[in-house]
Structure 1
Amino acid sequence: MKFRFPVVIIDEDFRAENISGSGVRDLAEAIKNEGMEVVGFTSYGDLTSFAQQASRASCFILSIDDEEFGGGTDEDISIALKSVRDFIVEVRKRNNDIPIFLYGETRTSRSIPNDILRELHGFIHMFEDTPEFVARHIIREARKYLDNLAPPFFRALMDYASDSSYSWHCPGHSGGVAFLKSPVGQMFHQFFGENMLRADVCNAVDELGQLLDHTGPVSSSEANAARIFNSDHLFFVTNGTSTSNKVVWHSTVAPGDIVVVDRNCHKSILHSIIMTGAIPVFLMPTRNHYGIIGPIPKSEFDPETIRKKIEANPFAREAKNKKPRILTITQSTYDGILYNVETIKAMLGNSIDTLHFDEAWLPHATFHPFYRNMHAIGEGRPRSDETLVFATQSTHKLLAGLSQASQILVQDGKNRKLDTHRFNESYLMHSSTSPQYSIIASCDVAAAMMEPPGGKALVEESLHEAIEFRRAMLKVDAEFGKDDWWFKVWGPTPKSDEGIGDRDDWIIHEGDTWHGFGNIESGFNMLDPIKSTIITPGLDLDGEFADDGIPAAIVSKYLAEHGIIIEKTGLYSFFIMFTIGITKGRWNSMVTELQQFKDDYDQNLPMWRVMPEFAAKFPQYERVGLRDLCSAIHSVYKEYNVARITTDMYLSNIEPAMTPADAWAKMAHRDVERVSIDELEGRVTAMLVTPYPPGIPLLVPGERFNSTIIDYLKFARDFNARFPGFETDVHGLVREIVDGEERYFVDVVKD
């Protein structure tokens, strides 16, 4: 299997018609004749950008001839050495292993300081050996480097796919051959390529090991990833972190157990509550009027507070065992709020059997000191005596995994170790017996990419780009001035003008007002800068509507027509993430497209012109001006005071009438009825009720509808009728046509 990792030569004379240029070109030709590509440059250019070539190169060859050292004065030599040193430092920030050679005609190691020499793999003197001999020496080191790049499972999968073995096992496409027998199959084969299809294999391939019982190369890769992520155990999961959460819960929780759960947790946790028959006791997060979920106050984690919640819950207080079986916290929240995990561990001690942190959005944190104490499992972390700590992470969200790539990390207690054999019974319960091997390989590679120092460099780049984006948005705002409008980025203002600045800038301190969550105790929470929530005009943190406004749904649809897809859209905010794949080009494009939106809005250009695809789909908006449409939707939001409704409904007093498992059983046994939203008050839902945005369940099966929640559902009904194309989606809300009219219903438990 051939890969493109060229040898990179940096020499001012690479294209010069002199003896030095001739010598380096002879060397390049000899390397090419040995079957390796060569790329030549005449200067370092932008060091940071150039050093990123380390991800694409097999080695670097740096010239230290007289041309690079100028006239040979001390100043010339110092400048030349600085260029070499700066380049090597930038490369080593990302890669400790890629070979680096120096070469020249006259200079020797006497000319080179030790801090440079110790980073080298060789020192080549031109014309002392033949170009062919020198080329073979360089290629030997380059190939040794490339041979050790792939982590265990990915290496085994590549070997298998390139072995040209005839396949008699599933999948039925037999390495892609079946696709070649059909025109549309040919198209599929050409689109995805042979390597992916040859690597799509069955778990019967012994040399690849088994994901389900963690043997062979799979086991080696999980152990390698556990080392990289500083955990005691690590398990790859190919069904996403929704499944990872269920694996953790089913390995720990049984019917009748009390569980302590973040009220605004992911729906997979609520599914786990239903499946295990647990009795949930909820910790209530804060919220602001932008709809951004804030942190659970520190006081909620006090064992005495949790005990009182248990006694106040009609089902929990009857439980035989009052010690909570598991605590699950969303870390980080969708909008980037983090908890000081070590504070939570210290507060709860051994009062809870298992601590589980849903870190779907935080797999990057362990690789940079910026996030110290703000993630669940890391090097040198203190251990509880008896409490196990789990973290479930989506490597496909913030790292480089394929979709559905996830992993479960475990930290043992001092006196209690994970029983991996028992744990694996839960793992088998939720894992497919036909896992996708490309997803396993991406878990393997995503971990290997974060091997120090590369992981730290990748995370630092994400932080830097995210903070630079904020600085750019502030600069644009300042240029428009106070009498004009522009978008804001929610969060504290960066205090430094370069780099990632001081971590403390992002810590929430008592008395801070930028977040809108009320008074938060200093040091317990932090905003992750790589999560950026952009605020549109029209609503303030107090929930007060301005005379005019720009609903975020219009901005996100506008951006989508201009090639920019948003992660999540709220009422007057939308959310973007600076993953390790985000570049300067992407975020600068975001700034320019927002500028274009502002220009089109200020001119009130018609929708057919600024959003032609949307206007073609919904012709009723075709001649409406962009500003006029914004004003129309804004006025309805204002009429319903929807910012306060959406805040109040999540913070309202919700009464549990049944355990979630019992309510689900009613649904499974069809002991439910479909009731109009006008008749819902006091009824018990049999379904999860989940408004989008924010996609956080509002009601759990077994809970009663209150008037605040019903007011929101009525708003959704009215709004959807008035503004097709901008519908408010509520999972659990059933839309049916009755007597020619669209009506809204929810499935509730029969009285």
Structure 2
Amino acid sequence: MNIIAIMGPHEVFYKDQPIRELHDALITQGFQLIYPKNADDLLKLIEHNPRICGVIFDWDEYSLDLCSEINQLNEYLPLYAFINTHSSLDVSINEMRMALWFFEYALNAADDIAQRIRQYTDEYIDTITPPLTRALFTYVKEGKYTFCTPGHMAGTAFQKSPVGTLFYDFFGANTLKADISISVTELGSLLDHTGPHLEAEEYVARTFGAEQSYMVTNGTSTSNKIVGMYAAPAGSTVLIDRNCHKSLTHLLMMSDLVPIWLKPTRNPLGILGGIPQQEFTKESIALKVAQTEHASWPVHAVITNSTYDGLLYNTQYIKETLDVPSIHFDSAWVPYTNFHPIYAGKSGMSGERTPGKVIYETQSTHKLLAAFSQASLIHIKGDYDEQTFNEAYMMHTTTSPNYSIVASIETAAAMLRGNPGKRLINRSVERALHFRREVQRLREECDGWFFDIWQPEAVGEAECWPIEPGDDWHGFTDADHDHMYLDPIKVTILTPGMSEQGVMADEGIPAALVAKFLDERGVVVEKTGPYNLLFLFSIGIDKTKAMSLLRGLTEFKRSYDLNLRVKNMLPDLYAEDPDFYRTMRIQMLAQGIHTLIRQHDLPRLMLQAFAMLPEMKMTPHQMFQQQVKGNVETVDISELVGRVSANMILPYPPGVPLVMPGEMITEASRPVLDFLLMLCTIGEHYPGFETDIHGATLNEEGRYLVRVLKTERPEEFRN
């Protein structure tokens, strides 16, 4: 970060020589210098090149107008204005808060000025670098000799082995030098929350609008379990979104809790909807408590916000309506909601405290922000017992945390601070909107069919689109007013074959075909539904990646319309079973899978499968204890009716649990099994299209096997 932009004076002779001298002095200081042609070029340069660490300009020619425009891009960037004895310095108190310094045009002063610019540059870098990251950088630069863990000793051990040197060269020296022991006292402690770690947590909390934040180095799966272990004592009842991530099922298996499920909606496309407003009312919860054995009034609630497909709640309604002491918003997929006005009121940390309640929010800092994998945050607003919470925190946190992951969490937060952070999120939203408009344009211009996009007809300025009752585009027939909103950066592409209302067309293109085609061309889809594909337009998506996706979609249409052979269009799929696909063409494959889906009446089956929950015979905790004792056996998935499932059964797609540990599919909930069997059928008929079902094992004969309780009388094992 050593680039200085110089906006030199134009055609003013007595100012030229001091700038030439300064140029040479700055080169000696190690700076790289660039000369934009005009103010517009400068502003574009600053917007697209974050390595610029200062701007030198002539005050008489550009003055405060340029300063204000630069400040809108980066209020921390040092500005160096050159003046003469006749320059007017009409600067207000507010404007003096800018990082603005004045120098006079003078000969033989360049070395002193360059030294000052180096000093201010170092201060700028120090200002934008968060506390723990700064301490880690300093420690690595000091190069101390340690006689503690880790054993590779800043990478030295790797350089003593041929294969180790390959590893060292790939990851680089600083990565390994930053992998240090918790014994390094100057960095404080992640577990005790002291020193730079404490400063980092306070820094993160201020950035994300929380009262307290905790950094977690094993993903939001761990963050969810930490919150649950603290908020719900053994034997208590908790409200849990049936759309929950499997980490919350694991919490229920670990802790002796009675779950009461909040049942969300689906639309016919299989897109995950939210929990209806009625489910949050006191009357609805009282009825669920009365119908659930051993249940008491819930002490805690967990809501998934946003859903996998990008639907956000009006969280204020939930906070005010849910009659529980604490509410946990699992916001793994939306760590950016505090940084753009379109997300106001749609996150856990939105607004002020909720009287009498503690609000938790967990976020995957790595999913859509710029942190390393496994980076996560817990935010808290409200009164809680810090010592007891920290016991739950330490219960799930290693005593040897990876400091690079911790620093990446803090750096991801630092990237979002101030005007640069707002611009970063805004650019992400604008890029997603531009892509949406391009798909719409191509659809209108295309001969025949083209991909559609799941959104309102009119895509105007940046906003989260409401899922309003009566609107046809979203397919949710019983939507509530001012309850759920679609996040514009979660882009769902629709393939031909099924309407938003669940009407099956005579012909169709299952989305799995498109996903395989894109994957073979280097474009990876986040989630594939029956006739929809989800793409995440995170801050790391640029125009090149967006154009690659658009090109991939148009290439698929061209290849499909030419009816190419599977062998030529999907070579990796062909390799799965060359004999089966030898003469098959793409349209024949698409129609074959589409016909299977039609025969099973997928829209109806999917809605029924998620509308009727299996019967809970044991809590997940009780069932896991039986599994540990060996009281389980393996059966074919087709034999699930009347048997208690030992594991969570989760088909992907759609990626949420259908059966929980301890639940039994009855005749009333048989559509759950029918849906699973339908997913299995596609793989049986078409090699390469086997469904990934978590909790089921696909054996060599193509059968899906699941584990169930040995006895047919689960009440024997309740105690």
Instruction: Please state which band the TM-score falls in when normalised by the shorter chain.
Output: over 0.9
1:732 aligns with 2:706: no
CA-to-partner distance for each residue in 1:54-83, whole Å, 9 max, x for gaps? 621111123467xxx6xxxxxxxxxx77xx
Corresponding position of 1:444? 410
CA-to-partner distance for each residue in 1:300-339, whole Å, 9 max, x for gaps? 10011101111011332xxxxx321111000111111111
Corresponding position of 2:674? 711
Q: How does 1:432-581 map to 2 (within 5 A)?
A: 432-480=398-446, 484-496=448-460, 499-500=461-462, 503=463, 506-581=465-540
- d(CA) in 1 for partners of 2:391 and 2:93? 55
Q: How does 1:127-276 map to 2 (within 5 A)?
A: 127=106, 130-276=109-255
Aligned residues: 707
- d(CA) in 2 for partners of 1:48 and 1:572? 43
- d(CA) in 1 for partners of 2:31 and 2:684? 64
1:402 aligns with 2:372: yes
- Structure 1 residues 323 and 177, CA, compared in 2 at 3 Å: closer, same or farther? same
Corresponding position of 1:30? 25
- Structure 1 residues 135 and 47, CA, compared in 2 at 3 Å: closer, same or farther? closer
Q: Is the 8 A contact 1:58 1:143 kept in 2?
A: no
Paired amino acid for 2:232: V
- d(CA) in 2 for partners of 1:231 and 1:536? 41
Corresponding position of 1:633? 593
Corresponding position of 2:7? 10
1:381 aligns with 2:378: no
- d(CA) in 2 for partners of 1:594 and 1:195? 40
Q: Is the 8 A contact 1:47 1:90 kept in 2?
A: no
Corresponding position of 2:544? 585
Corresponding position of 2:639? 679
- d(CA) in 2 for partners of 1:684 and 1:172? 47
Q: Is the 8 A contact 1:323 1:353 kept in 2?
A: no
1:39 aligns with 2:21: no
1:329 counterpart (281, 303, 307): 303
Q: Is the 8 A contact 1:467 1:494 kept in 2?
A: no
Q: 1:694 is paired with a residue of what secondary structure?
A: coil
Q: 2:704 is paired with a residue of what secondary structure?
A: strand
Q: How does 1:606-645 map to 2 (within 5 A)?
A: 606-619=565-578, 620-621=580-581, 623-645=583-605
- d(CA) in 1 for partners of 2:117 and 2:670? 75
Structure 1 alignment gaps of length 5 or more: 70-79, 317-321
Q: Is the 8 A contact 1:237 1:243 kept in 2?
A: yes
Deviates more, 1:604-613 or 1:573-582: 604-613
Corresponding position of 2:258? 279
Q: 2:663 is paired with a residue of what secondary structure?
A: coil
2:312 counterpart (326, 338, 350): 338
- Structure 1 residues 106 and 647, CA, compared in 2 at 3 Å: closer, same or farther? farther
Q: Is the 8 A contact 1:12 1:42 kept in 2?
A: no
- Structure 1 residues 207 and 246, CA, compared in 2 at 3 Å: closer, same or farther? same
- d(CA) in 2 for partners of 1:427 and 1:229? 20
2:340 counterpart (364, 368, 387): 368
- d(CA) in 1 for partners of 2:95 and 2:37? 20
Cα displacement (A) at 1:277: 1.1
Aligned-residue sequence identity (percent) comes to 38
Q: 2:664 is paired with a residue of what secondary structure?
A: coil
Q: 1:453 is paired with a residue of what secondary structure?
A: helix
- d(CA) in 1 for partners of 2:698 and 2:568? 32
1:660 aligns with 2:639: no
- Structure 1 residues 244 and 675, CA, compared in 2 at 3 Å: closer, same or farther? same
- d(CA) in 2 for partners of 1:198 and 1:474? 49
- Structure 1 residues 227 and 299, CA, compared in 2 at 3 Å: closer, same or farther? same
Deviates more, 1:646-655 or 1:526-535: 646-655
Q: 2:6 is paired with a residue of what secondary structure?
A: strand
1:58 aligns with 2:17: no
Paired amino acid for 1:384: P
- d(CA) in 2 for partners of 1:692 and 1:683? 22
What is the TM-score when the length of structure 2 is the normalising length?
A: 0.93
What is the TM-score when the length of structure 1 is the normalising length?
A: 0.89
- d(CA) in 2 for partners of 1:106 and 1:526? 58
- d(CA) in 2 for partners of 1:594 and 1:109? 58
- Structure 1 residues 475 and 22, CA, compared in 2 at 3 Å: closer, same or farther? farther
Paired amino acid for 1:198: K
Corresponding position of 1:359? 331
CA-to-partner distance for each residue in 1:177-219, whole Å, 9 max, x for gaps? 1111111111110110000000101211111111111111111
1:696 aligns with 2:665: no
Structure 2 alignment gaps of length 5 or more: 713-719
Paired amino acid for 1:490: W
CA-to-partner distance for each residue in 1:657-713, whole Å, 9 max, x for gaps? 112111111111111111222322121101000000122111111111242122223
Q: Is the 8 A contact 1:686 1:701 kept in 2?
A: yes
Cα displacement (A) at 1:128: 5.1
Corresponding position of 2:553? 594
- Structure 1 residues 539 and 183, CA, compared in 2 at 3 Å: closer, same or farther? same
Paired amino acid for 1:295: G
Cα displacement (A) at 1:153: 0.8
Paired amino acid for 2:343: Y
- Structure 1 residues 675 and 474, CA, compared in 2 at 3 Å: closer, same or farther? same
Cα displacement (A) at 1:488: 1.4
1:392 aligns with 2:362: yes
Corresponding position of 1:746? 706
Cα displacement (A) at 1:366: 1.3
RMSD: 2.4
- d(CA) in 1 for partners of 2:282 and 2:212? 28
1:294 aligns with 2:267: no
Corresponding position of 1:723? 686
Corresponding position of 1:315? 294
- d(CA) in 2 for partners of 1:423 and 1:37? 49
- d(CA) in 2 for partners of 1:344 and 1:396? 27
Q: 2:699 is paired with a residue of what secondary structure?
A: strand
- d(CA) in 1 for partners of 2:458 and 2:103? 47
Q: 2:52 is paired with a residue of what secondary structure?
A: coil
Q: Is the 8 A contact 2:645 2:707 kept in 1?
A: yes
Cα displacement (A) at 1:45: 4.7
